[in-house]
């Protein structure tokens, strides 16, 4: 199915627009109003270029070289040289969806009419996105201040017909070849345009938007895996009661508790241990406090979404052309607001995964599993069951704890101390992407283990958790002698990442929070 077009105008694009363009190749079109604003602002830049007054980015050098006046006949060289020199990325290629997200966000800022570029720059940038041409961007090169410089410079280099891209088929090719095949004429940059193409938080913001989208689904998945574990470990759902959650009015916790009540509704396993003579006085924290941790993560996610929404509504450039025509230097390109949100999310991800791993471990220990065989093995001693699955989780959780160390508290001065404090927001975003992948793997391990535990119980699970267990059974067989476990884990990882487990639960409960 072809994604609906995304209109880029003077106002902000939405988070859903970013996901649609980045992941689903939604076409973009720039509104006529935006093109008029771009053309109008460009006239201010051309007037300044014709004057004798030095203006940063128009008639001066950059960074620590801003005191150098550049004569008119060398300003095209100035802009082209800026892009060539700043396209200094190194390391592995960045994922296609990240590059497309940052390109859309840079296009959105250009379309505000606050950067001073010509309409042809906007049109050509949009044409590259629509042709599926993705510049090759490398892992290292941004300090998260003065813009995501190297990543954006590689995109601008492709706009000039230089450097390398991936075409719509994913083949790495010289940019000029791919542009020619798509019927796109390379742009020769004029005054201010090189700077306008690289001075933004678009890379870290694009990754924040994608992360928020993924985590919304993963937090719901965490409620589902926790519910599976509560049942499989003969826990109670009384602790998730609405009136108990209301005693602590944290909105995320209330949402998580509501999900778990729905998921466990009518569970014969839970009901069989509800009476006053039940063998367990209080469940372990990893069961009883699941909504507190998943809820705190949700509240963190809501904060991050607010930061992302504010940044999506921003026009980040330096200098910027104001509504009344002034060209002013500013510090809006500093990535601190985005970097802090990215780091905060990494903390929430690590803690949520840590709790999930603890629930998995309880299934495997006969002293805590309430009657399940050691390691859920078919013939313990001959079979090892899920013993090493928990090792996998433990290794991931250990890595997530390292990834939770904030990048934004660090700073390495650059540009001869002109840029003496940076956000490292790009680095915060890169490690968060790895952390989210790890969280999906830990939740998949819990889901696979809990489903096996449920199968080993005599009573039936709730309708919703049974639907999740049955969805897992479509790709992984039930309990039995030891099998090659890695493919089974990966199959459930895919169910987690695709949202299939959430869909299975919601087929019974209706929409979860």
- Please report where in the chains the tokens 């209301």 appear, as a residue: 246
Tell me the whole-structure pTM to 2 decimals. 0.95
Among 154, 184, 200, residue at a domain's last position = 200
SS3 377: coil
For residue 230, is pLDDT > 60? yes
Contacts of 1 (CB under 8 A, 6+ apart): none
Same domain, 26 and 61: yes
Same domain, 253 and 129: no
Q: What percent of the chain has pLDDT over 90?
A: 82
Are residues 107 and 159 in contact, defined by beta-carbon separation less than 8 angstroms?
no
pLDDT tens, residue by residue, 270-311: 887 665 555 566 899 999 999 999 999 999 999 999 999 999
Residue 424 Rama label (left phi>0; alpha psi -120 to 50; beta): left
What's the CA gap between 94 and 86, in Å, rounded? 17
Question: How many CA within 13 A on the CB side of residue 184?
Answer: 29
Q: Which domain holds residue 31?
A: 6-200
Query: Is residue 46 domain-resident?
Result: yes
Peptide bond into 319 cis (omega under 30): yes
Rounded to the nearest 10 degrees, the angle between the axes of helix 500-509 and helix 463-473 is 150
Same domain, 57 and 188: yes
Same domain, 51 and 177: yes
Same domain, 140 and 228: no
> Which is more confident, 249 or 416?
249
Domain count, the chain: 2
Same domain, 172 and 190: yes
Structure tokens at 179: 């542009």
Are residues 210 and 18 in contact, defined by beta-carbon separation less than 8 angstroms?
yes
Same domain, 57 and 178: yes
Helix (H) or strand (E) holding 8: strand 6-8
Instruction: Determine whether 56 is an active site residue.
Output: yes
SS3 248: coil
So what's the pLDDT on residue 278?
A: 58
**What value, to the nearest 5°, has the Cα angle with vertex 462 and ends 460 and 466?**
75
What is the rounded average pLDDT of the residues 29-38? 97
Same domain, 190 and 215: no
Query: Is residue 97 domain-resident?
Result: yes
What is the rounded average pLDDT of the residues 255-264? 98
Structure tokens at 51: 């004057």
Same domain, 164 and 242: no
Among 167, 200, 233, residue at a domain's last position = 200
So what's the pLDDT on residue 414?
A: 85
Taking alpha carbons only, the member of 207, 151, 224 closest to residue 345 is 207
Same domain, 232 and 307: yes
Q: How many other CB atoms are there within 10 angstroms of residue 298's CB atom?
A: 27
Query: Is residue 1 domain-resident?
Result: no
What's the CA gap between 402 and 350, in Å, rounded? 9
pLDDT tens, residue by residue, 141-176: 999 888 899 999 999 999 999 999 999 999 999 999
What's the CA gap between 443 and 297, in Å, rounded? 15
Residue tagged active-site, from 56, 285, 340, 391: 56
So what's the pLDDT on residue 56?
A: 78
Under the banding of pLDDT at 50, 70 and 90, the label for residue 74 is confident
Same domain, 173 and 220: no
Among 200, 225, 260, residue at a domain's last position = 200
């Amino acid at each position: 199915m072809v994604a609906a077009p995304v209109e880029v105008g003077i106002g902000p694009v939405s988070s859903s627009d970013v996901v649609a363009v980045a992941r689903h190749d939604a076409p973009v079109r720039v509104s006529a109003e935006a093109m008029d604003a771009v053309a109008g602002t460009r006239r201010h830049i051309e007037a300044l270029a014709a004057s004798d007054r030095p203006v940063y980015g128009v008639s001066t050098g950059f960074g620590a070289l801003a005191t150098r006046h550049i004569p008119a006949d060398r300003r095209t060289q100035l802009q082209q040289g800026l892009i060539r020199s700043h396209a200094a990325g190194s390391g592995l290629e960045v994922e296609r969806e990240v590059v497309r997200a940052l390109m859309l966000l840079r296009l959105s800022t250009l379309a505000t009419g606050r950067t001073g570029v010509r309409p042809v720059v906007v049109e050509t940038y949009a044409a590259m996105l629509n042709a599926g041409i993705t510049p090759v961007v490398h892992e290292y090169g941004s300090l998260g201040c003065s813009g995501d410089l190297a990543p954006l410079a590689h995109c601008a280099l492709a706009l000039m017909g230089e450097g390398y891209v991936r075409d719509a088929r994913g083949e790495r090719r010289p940019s000029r070849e791919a542009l020619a095949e798509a019927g796109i004429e390379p742009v020769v940059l004029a005054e201010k345009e090189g700077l306008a193409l690289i001075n933004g938080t678009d890379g870290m913001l694009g990754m924040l938007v994608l992360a928020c989208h993924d985590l919304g689904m993963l937090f719901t998945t965490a409620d589902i895996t926790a519910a599976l574990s509560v049942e499989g470990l003969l826990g109670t759902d009384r602790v998730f009661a609405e009136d108990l959650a209301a005693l602590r009015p944290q909105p995320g916790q209330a949402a998580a508790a509501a999900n778990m009540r729905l998921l466990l509704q009518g569970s014969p396993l839970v009901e069989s241990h509800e009476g006053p003579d039940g063998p367990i006085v209080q469940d372990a924290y990893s069961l009883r406090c699941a909504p507190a941790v998943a809820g705190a993560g949700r509240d963190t996610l809501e904060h991050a979404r607010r930061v992302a929404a504010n940044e999506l509504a921003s026009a980040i450039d330096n200098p910027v052309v104001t509504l009344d025509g002034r060209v002013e230097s500013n510090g809006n390109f500093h990535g601190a607001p985005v970097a802090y949100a990215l780091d905060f999310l990494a903390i929430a991800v690590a803690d949520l995964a840590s709790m999930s791993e603890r629930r998995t471990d309880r299934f495997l220990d006969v002293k805590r599993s309430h009657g399940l065989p050691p390691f859920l093995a078919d013939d313990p001693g001959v079979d090892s069951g899920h013993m090493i699955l928990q090792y996998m989780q433990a290794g991931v959780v250990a890595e997530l704890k390292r990834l939770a160390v904030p990048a934004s508290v660090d700073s390495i001065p650059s540009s001869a101390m002109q840029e003496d404090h940076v956000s490292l927001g790009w680095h915060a975003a890169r490690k968060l992407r790895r952390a989210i992948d790890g969280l999906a793997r830990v939740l998949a391990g819990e889901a696979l283990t809990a489903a096996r535990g449920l199968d080993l119980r005599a009573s039936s699970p709730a309708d919703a958790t049974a639907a999740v267990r049955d969805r897992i059974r479509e790709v992984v067989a039930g309990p039995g002698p030891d099998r090659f476990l890695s493919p089974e884990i990966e199959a459930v990882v895919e169910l987690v990442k695709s949202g299939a487990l959430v869909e299975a639960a919601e087929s019974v409960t209706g929409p979860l929070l």
